[in-house]
Amino acid sequence: MMYRFFFGATALVVLAGCTELSAPFQQRERQADAPAGVSDTDGAPETAAAPPADAASEAAFDTTSAEERARAAAAPSEAGAQSLGTTVASLGDPTRSGFWLETPLVDAPAQGRVEYPETGKSAQVELIPIDGAATAGSRISLPAMRLLGAPLTGLVTLRVFRN
């Protein structure tokens, strides 16, 4: 009889603890339900909505608008552009929206541009610093890779410029 009471009380304590443990997950769900265009980290606007949960193709994962793609594809302004060098990049997190490059070539976030010599195309991107030597690799967003005409499954050499 005593062991039933012990196990019953233990079960109640565990279940009560589950509500505390689930709080971070509930917070994450609330953030996922935030209005489109609102970042879940700092309140700054994002460039595109998150892809649908059932996304299975590169087009489904690329949620950028035609206007955002046109802005990213705008002709580069050579005035004031600083060449940061070249980097070998792979596809970054395909669920993260927008035009960005995570790279060790910058030590602070900045606006910039990447060029893919194989196609002659370029894209305006946000440059996001990551740890590593300047010769370490970079990660680029799915929309940026598509705009550049780069293979999604390969490593691509990009020229990087800070605006």
Which range has the worst mean pLDDT, 41-50, 65-74, 149-158?
Answer: 41-50
90, 76, 81: which is closest to 145 by C-alpha?
A: 90
Task: Determine the angle formed by the axes of helices 23-32 and 2-21, rounding to 10 degrees.
Answer: 30
Which range has the worst mean pLDDT, 5-9, 51-55, 77-81?
Answer: 5-9
For the cut 90, the answer to whether the pLDDT of residue 44 exceeds it is: no
**Predicted structure pTM score:** 0.63
Q: Domain coordinates of the chain in residue numbers?
A: 2-32, 58-162
Which range has the worst mean pLDDT, 28-37, 51-60, 114-123, 145-154?
Answer: 28-37
Write down the CATH number for the domain with range 58-162.
Answer: 2.40.40.10
What is the DSSP-derived secondary structure letter of residue 51? P
